[in-house]
Structure 1
Amino acid sequence: MPVPKRVVIVGGSLAGLFHGLYLKRHGSRVVVIEQDPGSVRSSHQAGIAFGPAVEEILRQYDDTGMQSCTPAVGTRIAYRRRQNVKEINVVRHLTSWGLLYRILRANFDGLASEAVPNPPPPRDGDGPAEYRSGQRVTSLRLDQTGAVTVGFIDPAGVEGSVTADLVIGADGVHSTVRDLVHAPATGVEYSGYVAWRGTVCESALPPEVAAYFAPRTSLNFLRDTYIVTYAIPPSTGTFTPGTRLINWVWYLNIPPSSPSLIATLTDTTGHVHANTVPSHLTNTTIFHHHLAEHLPSMPPPFATLLSSTPHPFVTKINDARTDAAVFLDGRVVLVGDSLAAFRPHFAVATEQAARHCLGLGRVWDGEGGATLEGWEREAVGYGERMWLASRLLGAFGLGRWGEFWGLLGRWVVGFVRGLVRGY
């Protein structure tokens, strides 16, 4: 199956850029359509982790020469006020969403930024690449020649279209492409808990607190809630100690459709957000109420870190997945969170998107007899297993024991099924 000549990618986040960069490097004409109106996506200073698939894409296709991540030396477990209960040999490559996004954009369409002020020139053989902001996809139509016409509307309300040999749906948990192809999905489901998030610059923390967090991932298990922390570079791409950010995520149970959930998602102007309340609009009174309740149970470094956060923000944790990834006679595929959106406890969303990209690359190269059907089986199977595993860890960390034991049985069945099917 040859590399498609004309590709439209719906969604301009990391999943879309992995695929866009791969295809550009292989000579395709690539158009990324991103509905966010800004020319650069907002990162909320979010931290991410990645593994070998992301490393492989950067090794082969990144020409910036930028350092992209910092490895943690291990993982520390804290329990209640005991801050050094266990060290385990789990090492993750840690970075910021904003930095990885800017590295990929610099390679894909030459975006200049503070992180990459001088984007690399195109390689010989690169195809043309275009990143369109503010266009919302409204339709997909397969014609008799096998081409797909993608309809969209721009911020001014003007309708337009672009035609491609392949459309890649990389538009996240609330995927428009998934809806347009009527993918058989479990549906977007609220987990029953939210994630409060924030970052604090190392230089703003007492030296002993920064030293506690900087070299490793740290988890603090409290009663029916837990916190994850790790150091990341800012979006500008600096890794010098003292300039990095200590990123934290705090999961808290909030029942569905409860007044507490509505209040949490209501910003300072009175608007109720569907998923994430931006940091500059977050009602921090609610955050400080939770913090005051749990501070007596936290180890001192965690208490200091969360209390020092100037602009926390909150996200409603959802997940979704579908049992199919290929549609319209192989002319539309779903990748990344559009195919399977996990709860973020294992931090594998970025790695999944890169796996999808490399797997499709093997199909296009004909490597080892790889087929689109085989790629779909592996991608759906991996998505199902990680979807269950992420729910399992969330239930464990948040003290949801009935849910935990039920999910454990489902995960074991799914794992065995994957072994039997060879993925």
Structure 2
Amino acid sequence: MNPRTELQALIIGGSVGGLAAAHEMRSVGAEVAVYERSAGRMEARGAGIVMQPEVEALLVRLGMSAQSVSVELRERQQLDPAGRTTRYAAPQLMTSWDTLYRALRDPLSGVCYRLDSALRRVRVEGSEVTAEFADGYTARGNFLVGADGLGSATRRLLNPAALPAYAGYVAWRGLEQESALPRELLELLVGRFTFFGSDGLQMLCYVVPGPDGELGEGARRVNWVWYTNVPESGLPRLLAGRSGTTFTTFLPPGQLVPEIAAELVATGEASLPPQFAELVRCSEVFMQPVFDVRPHQMVADHAALIGDAAGTVRPHTAAGTSKAFGDAATLAAALRGWTPDQDLPAGRLAVWEGERLSHLLALSRAGIELADRSSLGTADGRRFFASA
């Protein structure tokens, strides 16, 4: 029996980075299968996403425009502590995790997309890669793409020393229906990117598409994120959910306990402009601690890491999603023309790894510098929500 000559790619991680990888690998002739560790509906952990060129390029290739999945902003405005505004023109497109996920997932309806697939082991034998999952399922292909994010199982298997390190601050988040918020707030926020910063905190807000991608006025959502310094010793208290589960990297919507919710509102009233304090009061809050994964390695034998699995960038760069998309597009280009009956194109992959690691390191440094400007994650920055 002759060996198969078409490339079969196993994509580990079914969020937007994994979906981008699936599209890019298909564009160079690969058969793809996507394996996602979540057992059910995936949480929209990023909420709002700034539209970037790498994302737009893939959408256009798939027959969509950036405008069709985005809300257009016309201005930026900075609030002072009393809520007074300074504005300037700054056109920008904003989308959301769930809108982008749907835009990428729908064209892959005929592709294997398997949920509840927690990776446990990877084996390479010749040109064949075998992925073994916690439920006993086994998948075989010729190249494995680890796009499984911050808590990447692929990274742990390929490079166990590359562990996430807490950056010293958290991101409180809200994603509220436009129609549910007070009219005065909407008059301030709609059509604008709004932000505020002071020692040890930073908050920003903008409008994104509705839960089903709606772009009409009243059907969209107001997305906000509020960064505050929190000592590492205070994290377990904040990550203890209503359900009794103590989370590690993400406190989902509906899990904030009443005690912390009250403390959050009080902290907002004491430290935020009044409009932002009101927005926090009106919201069902969720939370993500900010972690750093230092870039080290992106390529192993018949495998590669992309996006946060390879290394993180701070959220202030607005480049986490676009970096994953760029990783996926350039990885596929490096593998273009390769078939399993040939030697792996190690030279092209080494060039890809070098270029993407340089890009990742530059973004990582830029993100840390942006955080430092608001004393986020710094030793001397004001801290909040310390352990009781």
TM-score of the two chains, using structure 2 as the length reference = 0.88
**How many residues are paired up?**
368
Secondary structure at the aligned position of 2:137 is classed as strand
CA contact (8 A) 2:51 2:66 kept: no
- For 2:64 and 2:29, the matched residues in 1 are separated by 16
Q: How does 1:336-351 map to 2 (within 5 A)?
A: 336-351=307-322
- Give 1:270 shift: 3.1
* Correspondent of 1:276 among 243, 246, 250: 250
- For 2:378 and 2:149, the matched residues in 1 are separated by 29
CA contact (8 A) 1:64 1:106 kept: no
What one-letter code is carried by the residue in structure 1 that aligns with 2:15? Answer: S
- Give 1:132 shift: 0.4
Closer, same or farther in 2 for the Cα pair 1:301/1:105, shift >3 Å?
same
Aligned counterpart, 1:241: 217
CA contact (8 A) 1:229 1:246 kept: yes
Deviations 1:290-314 (A, max 9, x none): 32233144333222222211x1111
Greater Cα offset, 231-240 or 282-291: 282-291
Q: How does 1:106-255 map to 2 (within 5 A)?
A: 106-109=106-109, 129-144=111-126, 146-154=127-135, 159-182=136-159, 185=162, 187-255=163-231
What one-letter code is carried by the residue in structure 2 that aligns with 1:262? Answer: P
- Give 1:254 shift: 1.1
Secondary structure at the aligned position of 1:341 is classed as coil
Q: How does 1:243-392 map to 2 (within 5 A)?
A: 243-256=219-232, 258=233, 260-309=234-283, 311-328=284-301, 331-365=302-336, 371-392=348-369
Closer, same or farther in 2 for the Cα pair 1:297/1:323, shift >3 Å?
closer
Secondary structure at the aligned position of 2:68 is classed as coil
Structure 2 residue ranges without an equivalent (≥5): 338-346, 382-388
Deviations 1:80-132 (A, max 9, x none): 2243135364x44211101111111101125xxxxxxxxxxxxxxxxxx2100
What one-letter code is carried by the residue in structure 2 that aligns with 1:382? Answer: H
CA contact (8 A) 2:167 2:377 kept: no
- For 1:178 and 1:141, the matched residues in 2 are separated by 14
Secondary structure at the aligned position of 2:100 is classed as helix
Aligned counterpart, 1:416: none
Aligned counterpart, 2:11: 9
- For 2:89 and 2:25, the matched residues in 1 are separated by 38
- For 1:45 and 1:341, the matched residues in 2 are separated by 14
What one-letter code is carried by the residue in structure 2 that aligns with 1:59? Answer: V
Secondary structure at the aligned position of 1:321 is classed as coil
CA contact (8 A) 1:62 1:107 kept: no
- For 1:391 and 1:222, the matched residues in 2 are separated by 16
Deviations 1:252-293 (A, max 9, x none): 11111x2x3221111123322111111122114313313223
Secondary structure at the aligned position of 1:99 is classed as helix
Structure 1 residue ranges without an equivalent (≥5): 111-128, 405-423
Aligned counterpart, 1:420: none
- Give 1:205 shift: 2.3
CA contact (8 A) 2:129 2:141 kept: yes
CA contact (8 A) 1:62 1:103 kept: no
- Give 1:321 shift: 2.9
- For 1:18 and 1:334, the matched residues in 2 are separated by 13
- For 2:370 and 2:56, the matched residues in 1 are separated by 25
- For 2:6 and 2:328, the matched residues in 1 are separated by 14
Aligned counterpart, 2:385: none
Identity %: 28
CA contact (8 A) 2:67 2:93 kept: no
- For 2:350 and 2:130, the matched residues in 1 are separated by 23
- For 1:93 and 1:375, the matched residues in 2 are separated by 29
Q: How does 1:32-43 map to 2 (within 5 A)?
A: 32-38=34-40, 40-43=41-44
- For 1:48 and 1:65, the matched residues in 2 are separated by 12
- Give 1:322 shift: 2.6
Is 1:100 aligned to 2:104, yes or no?
Answer: no
Greater Cα offset, 286-295 or 346-355: 286-295
- Give 1:340 shift: 1.6
- For 1:4 and 1:326, the matched residues in 2 are separated by 21
- For 2:64 and 2:276, the matched residues in 1 are separated by 38
Secondary structure at the aligned position of 2:293 is classed as strand
- Give 1:147 shift: 1.4
- Give 1:153 shift: 2.4
- For 1:142 and 1:399, the matched residues in 2 are separated by 42
- For 2:359 and 2:150, the matched residues in 1 are separated by 16
Closer, same or farther in 2 for the Cα pair 1:223/1:375, shift >3 Å?
same
CA contact (8 A) 1:78 1:218 kept: yes
- For 1:326 and 1:235, the matched residues in 2 are separated by 36
- Give 1:8 shift: 0.2
Closer, same or farther in 2 for the Cα pair 1:65/1:224, shift >3 Å?
closer
- For 2:10 and 2:47, the matched residues in 1 are separated by 27
What one-letter code is carried by the residue in structure 2 that aligns with 1:231? Answer: V
